Amino acid sequence: MNQTFASARFGRLLRKYWQEDKAGLTAALGTLFATQAATMFFLGYSAYPDSLQANRAIGFLSLSLIIWPLFTVAIASVYNKRDQGLSLFMVPASLFEKWLQLWLVSGLLFMVCFVGFFSLIDVFGTYYINHKTWSAEELSYLSKNNIPRTVELFDYADLLRTPIWAVWVLLHPFSLAATLLFRKYPLIVGVGVGMTLFGGSFILNNQLVNVLLDDARPFQAFPFADVWAYNNKLSVHGHYLTLPQPIGDIIRWGVGIAAVGLLYAVAYFRLKEREV
């Protein structure tokens, strides 16, 4: 039998995990759904239809940035505990299969449930907005500002048009690596390291843009995105600058894939160290 991966052995590992942790996992996913529903209905679907798409995007990103690391730390931190970690390492499965199970539960399962719950909530929220009875004052405001009273379901493509989706892609591998790297207070230390790296990337990016643009000054320079810069000597208006294609996409995708791969590799080898 393959010592790295065997489908039958991996299936038994997943069944064992579900049988032993189904109560806790079900409770965690139930809490996820309730948190999403409460947040979106009180903050998202209580607004006017014209701001609903932006509110839903903000809710989607902010909830994921908070809940996904918490979920990942809760799932992966058992390997940081002596007794629980030892019992997990004694399970008859390869290290790769244990890492893959950890990735599936904390990563893929969360992502599927988070997006699925969000989409289900959006169906009811959109129905609520489209069939809402507006007051006379609200109808006057909608009519005066030419705001339609009906909305469409959330357009996920809008998230892909903004550079923030790159943060979402890096969120799970970073959370997983931080949890296994830092045995004590992984969430607090991970947040501190993440904020330092994120802030440092902005500073470094702005310094690099300053060097490349010479006299022009960057006003907005999100890493690996367009730069909005201006030059007071030439114009009071700014201009968007972007890398030529396909060089821009090659750099973005190359750096992103390398970062994700590196973080997952760090998590895997840290787990291997724990097993030894």
Query: Which structure tokens are listed for 122?
Result: 């959006």
Mean pLDDT of 9-15: 87
Q: What pLDDT is recorded for position 3?
A: 75
Instruction: Work out the pLDDT band at 169, boundaries 50, 70, 90.
Output: confident
Contact 107, 172 (CB under 8 A): yes
Contacts 24+ apart (CB under 8 A), 252-257: 252/166, 252/224, 255/224, 256/166, 256/169, 256/170, 256/224
Q: What pLDDT is recorded for position 77?
A: 85
Q: What pLDDT is recorded for position 84?
A: 67
- Up-side HSE of residue 126: CA atoms within 13 Å toward CB? 13
**Which tens digit of pLDDT belongs to each residue from 224-251?**
666 766 665 555 566 666 766 777 777 7
What pTM does this model have? 0.82
**Which tens digit of pLDDT belongs to each residue from 42-64?**
877 877 888 888 888 888 888 99
Query: Which structure tokens are listed for 221?
Result: 């320079």
Task: Tell me the C-alpha distance between 37 and 248, whole Å.
Answer: 38
Q: What angle separates helix 186-213 from helix 165-181, to the nearest 10 degrees?
A: 130
Q: What pLDDT is recorded for position 165?
A: 73
Q: What pLDDT is recorded for position 112?
A: 93
Contact 236, 149 (CB under 8 A): no
Instruction: Work out the pLDDT band at 223, boundaries 50, 70, 90.
Output: low
Backbone angles phi, psi at 45, to 5 degrees: -90, 5
DSSP 170-194: HHHHHHHHHHHH-SSSHHHHHHHHH
DSSP 36-52: HHHHIIIIITTS-GGGH
**Which tens digit of pLDDT belongs to each residue from 101-140?**
999 999 999 999 999 999 999 999 999 988 888 888 888 8
Instruction: Work out the pLDDT band at 31, boundaries 50, 70, 90.
Output: very high
How is the chain split into domains, by residue range?
A: 1-160, 162-276
Q: What pLDDT is recorded for position 217?
A: 60
Q: Is the dihedral of CA 101, 103, 106, 112 positive or negative?
A: negative
Q: What pLDDT is recorded for position 120?
A: 95
Instruction: Work out the pLDDT band at 216, boundaries 50, 70, 90.
Output: low
DSSP 109-141: IHHHHHHHHHHHHHHHHHHHHHT----HHHHHH
- Decide which of 41 and 185 is more confident: 41
Task: Tell me the C-alpha distance between 252 and 174, whole Å.
Answer: 18
